Structure 1
Amino acid sequence: MQSNGLALPLLLSALCLTAPLALADQPAQAEQQPQLDYRVRSAPADELHMEAPKLPDLSGYTKEAVLAKIPHSAKGKVVVRRMLRQDALKDFTGGNERLREWIKRQQGMPQAIFIEGGLVTPQDIADALPDSQFAEQAPGVYLARLPIVVAQNATLHVGKETNELRLSQERGSFLVNDGLMFITDTRVTAWREADNGPATFRDPKEFRPFLVSWGGSELYIASSVITSLGYSNSKSYGVSITQYTPNQHKILQRPEPTGWLIDSEFVDHWYGFYCYEAQNIVIKGNTYRDNIVYGIDPHDRSHGLIIADNTVFGTKKKHGIIISREVNDSWIINNKSYDNKLSGIVIDRDSVRNVIAYNKTYENYSDGITLYESGDNLLWGNQVLSNKRHGIRIRNSENIRLYENLSALNQLTGVYGHIKDLSGTGRNLQLDPYDAKISMIIVGGTLAGNGSSPINIDSPLSVELYRVKMLAPSKSTGIQLAGILGEKQDEILDLLLRKRQPVLIDPIDPEQMTN
């Protein structure tokens, strides 16, 4: 296990000296549900035993391995063509409004730079085109004044010979990958020519250059700095790996895109990272700082992802790391996520069979780790500290396993579980079906110094507790469980703390109650 947080003995020493935390607000009231009677009983300990998850081997995801993937067999060519009727650009030129954006910026019929047939570098592009389209402004510093499209069966490598690739905001430049793209040991910057500097965020609707990698493509970014990409427009969010827009390009359906983003820095993007219907993406060892909406945001039907060893902080509008809508069978491990506007890590909308392990989420302005409508997930060995609301929050999610987590000094609850009827929230229930049910297992770990309660759970199908340490209560009355557990607190603590037995809390069948 890789340590990335406070040692428990030091934390507990600090807790003993900490005054009770002021509560910003109280946990949301649970939805009105039929009143159930619950029972408390001992559970078999062997059924709760679980070995630590075996983590994926990350040793092969290196810059050297990325460089070894670059094909050198054929030299590519650079051509300029109209943007119209180009499959890789249809998402950005469809309809008069979108086309008008490029006409305005290029002052004529929009064109793009196409890389075809083999390997091309920025120097090759500069050699082939006039400065009005692609200029070398200083040795190894290039300014693209047109969009750049890497065609199928072609490769673009922006490597260490390039000090910086700048994408002109005024002229409407952006990067589209339909083949292979490699960005290594360099910088890629959205560039505001009027300021002679990065196109820093000003307005959600203001065009900023972006990078999108389509279905069937591969994108590799290693040891690089990517700055100020993206705005609030579909597929234009920042750095995106995505299938083509559904139902628009049926003849273009290609394999799920993939890629590695490793040991790099992503700064001031609309979304630091976004993917859609992608597979086996590796996001490892990066820093995501001061991005606007999200730091890392894998989305619909992506799977087999590894999100590991990243540091995510300063996200201005929402969460540090979020996976949403059937992002399944993935790993979120050894990340630090802090000082984000909402939660540190979010598992959302029917994202299942994921392992969230050994992360440290702290000083976020909402929860440390949030699970919404996403069952069958494992949280193991996370440190969730000093968040402004709950440490770990679970809503409408069944079979959540929490093993060996530390949730401490959060302003509300250490672990908060509840159900909620979302039918009046504007949520599309056809896209996002869910059951207002919750169940969880909490084994090992420590809940310490949380502001309102160590655990608050309402209306569960079942809760199992075993070997959970509850320390340094903020209230002078001592440990105070809440929700259903509060109603059965004496029985629970007798089994859990005095007899050191596993505890099962579940509803009594109404038919049994009448017999």
Structure 2
Amino acid sequence: MDLHRAFWQRSGTSLALVAGLFWATAGQAGETAAPSEFAEAKRQAYQVSSIPADSLLLPAPKLPDLSPYTPEAVYAKLVRKPVGSVVVKRMLQQNPLIEFTGGDERLREWLKRQGEMPQVVFIEGGYVTPADLTRSLPEKYFRETEPGVYLARLPIVVSQGATLHIGKETKDFRLSSERGVFLINDGKLFITDTRLTAWREAENQQDWFKKKGRFRPFLNSWGGTETYIVNSVVSSLGYTASKSYGVSISQYSPAMHPIMQRSPPSGWLLNTMFDDMWYGFYCYEAYDVVLRGNTYRNNLVYGIDPHDRSRRLIIAENTAYGTVQKHGIIVSREVNDSWIFNNRSYENHLSGIVVDRSSVNNVLANNEVYRNKSDGITIYESGNNLLWANKAFNNGRHGIRVRNSSNVGLYENLAAANGLLGIYGHVKDLNGTDRDLQLDPFDMNLSLTVVGGRLIGNGSGAISVVTPQSVKLYRLEMLMPTKPTGIGMFGALADGKNQIIDLLVRQKKAVLVLPLDKLAQLQE
């Protein structure tokens, strides 16, 4: 990740200072943007200066080559021999299922739905298709209801060393909600050119979401597995229980991982529609997952949600819209060294894209985020991230929002016609909230580098940065103010606005805004 190292090296503070002492009072400007957050900041002295522009310049990020990640490459990974076997076993005391049977409440779910000691279909020893399942199982467990349409009435586990391939010969692979069916991959799973659907037998229809907490079928792939979903439609999976969110790629739980000793799971999800899911996608401690060219439509909580300690993810060319409760795309809790680019995220209930909870060393590039009810792009407690040439427009709150995050680079971004600010950086004290501070610590540090890009016609002003450790600006265009007072620059930029504009626009210099107390420390 040489690009990130270059950014960090260039983010050090310069002492080539040129006059300009002023006071910035957070409450005096931008109150229409976020009164409670501005009120947190204390009155602090800042100094405006010019610095060498070369110190801020970066080449455009070299984005990952997507050409290896194609349906053809997935088909080439299929190994159809040897033919596997299909057996029915009791659900209890099976390592891949302990997450789902370890508590009395979850075990009761399967007892109630199966009406007997819960059983599971295991695929073992090789390659199996839905047609093979039909030949191997009685109709009460699995059947072809019409040509190419299959109904699973027991949970299915793909064992280590086995492969399940649901391919184009299958029109729809249906998982019975009444029978408590789910699909666990502990080996290799291929879903290609087909449909995977949660199904209500009583109504003979897709199991559309109706009530939080009600069981719906789900797919989970454990540590050491490979999952490939290509050119397909996946619908109505997932509910609130752990690892049951919809489509999940997850390392084994901390209790099971020492027993199983499996490597991080991975997978490619390509050109597929995910709709009416509890989560469109979730992963946990997964590496090298590729999400390319998918559509996440009308999912309940999140469209895309990589989580804890996942690394080297590629999230590219996806569309996420209509998320009912939260964000279109979010990475959270130490999701590092990843790439989010060329995506569209719009009309979601909260933000378009979020980077959250100590997720560092990520690149967000060339994304379009618009008509989201909250921010376009939100960075929370996650430093050392680069935002390059993103477009955030017509969002309900801020175009780009950065909180409690250091060394965040905003390069060549467009923020236009957002309800509040084009760019809003601030600190926030999270003590006293419901945040678990041991699991998710934070520092009230903020530093931004804003180079290039345009801030156009945003409702409360162009940019506000409240209580930063430093702000660096260069080649930033601020056009079409919506208020007669002119370009809106608030927080630490407020009192020095005229000098900043003179340096940026007339002199075409780079600008450094630095707290006076920090300047004094650097000069000692």
Q: TM-score, normalised by structure 1?
A: 0.94
The aligned counterpart of 1:11 is none
- Structure-2 separation of matches of 1:140 and 1:474: 58
Deviation (angstroms), 1:97: 1.6
Deviation (angstroms), 1:253: 2.7
The aligned counterpart of 1:241 is 249
The aligned counterpart of 2:300 is 292
Q: Kindly indicate whether residue 479 of structure 2 is the aligned counterpart of residue 463 of structure 1.
A: no
Q: Kindly indicate whether residue 72 of structure 2 is the aligned counterpart of residue 26 of structure 1.
A: no
The aligned counterpart of 1:56 is 64
Deviation (angstroms), 1:206: 0.3
Q: Name the aligned partner's letter for residue 295 of structure 2.
A: T
Q: Is the 8 A contact 1:30 1:420 kept in 2?
A: no
The aligned counterpart of 1:478 is 486
Q: For this pair of structures, how many residues does the alignment match? A: 493
Matches within 5 A, 1:195-210: 195-210=203-218
CA distance 1:468–1:139, shift in 2 (3 Å) = same
The aligned counterpart of 1:491 is 499
Q: Is the 8 A contact 1:76 1:117 kept in 2?
A: yes
Picking from 437, 440, 443, the partner of 1:435 is 443
Give deviations 1:187-209, integer Å, cap 9, x for gaps.
Answer: 00000111111110011210000
RMSD: 1.5
> Larger deviation: 328-337 or 421-430?
421-430
The aligned counterpart of 1:396 is 404
SS in structure 2 opposite 1:101? helix
CA distance 1:456–1:33, shift in 2 (3 Å) = closer
- Structure-1 separation of matches of 2:31 and 2:352: 18
The aligned counterpart of 2:354 is 346
Deviation (angstroms), 1:36: 2.2
Q: Kindly indicate whether residue 513 of structure 2 is the aligned counterpart of residue 505 of structure 1.
A: yes
Matches within 5 A, 1:152-171: 152-171=160-179
Q: Is the 8 A contact 2:394 2:416 kept in 1?
A: yes
SS in structure 2 opposite 1:485? coil
Deviation (angstroms), 1:161: 0.6
Q: Is the 8 A contact 1:31 1:421 kept in 2?
A: no
Q: Name the aligned partner's letter for residue 321 of structure 2.
A: F
Which ranges in structure 2 are unaligned for 5 or more consecutive residues?
A: 1-29
- Structure-2 separation of matches of 1:196 and 1:34: 61
Give deviations 1:34-92, integer Å, cap 9, x for gaps.
Answer: 43210000011111111000010001111111011111221000110000010011111
Q: Kindly indicate whether residue 285 of structure 2 is the aligned counterpart of residue 277 of structure 1.
A: yes
Q: Name the aligned partner's letter for residue 215 of structure 1.
A: G
- Structure-2 separation of matches of 1:322 and 1:512: 39
Report percent identity of matched pairs: 60
Deviation (angstroms), 1:24: 12
Q: Kindly indicate whether residue 273 of structure 2 is the aligned counterpart of residue 265 of structure 1.
A: yes
Q: Name the aligned partner's letter for residue 95 of structure 1.
A: G
Q: Is the 8 A contact 1:348 1:374 kept in 2?
A: yes
- Structure-1 separation of matches of 2:296 and 2:409: 28
- Structure-2 separation of matches of 1:446 and 1:490: 18
Q: Name the aligned partner's letter for residue 416 of structure 1.
A: Y
The aligned counterpart of 1:355 is 363
CA distance 1:271–1:510, shift in 2 (3 Å) = closer
Q: Is the 8 A contact 1:31 1:420 kept in 2?
A: no
- Structure-1 separation of matches of 2:172 and 2:96: 25
The aligned counterpart of 2:4 is none
> Larger deviation: 112-121 or 429-438?
429-438
The aligned counterpart of 1:144 is 152
Give deviations 1:143-170, integer Å, cap 9, x for gaps.
Answer: 0000000000000000001111000000
Q: Kindly indicate whether residue 102 of structure 2 is the aligned counterpart of residue 98 of structure 1.
A: no
The aligned counterpart of 2:6 is none
- Structure-1 separation of matches of 2:197 and 2:261: 30
Matches within 5 A, 1:79-158: 79-158=87-166
Q: Name the aligned partner's letter for residue 290 of structure 1.
A: N
Deviation (angstroms), 1:510: 7.1
- Structure-2 separation of matches of 1:165 and 1:26: 49
> Larger deviation: 493-502 or 365-374?
493-502
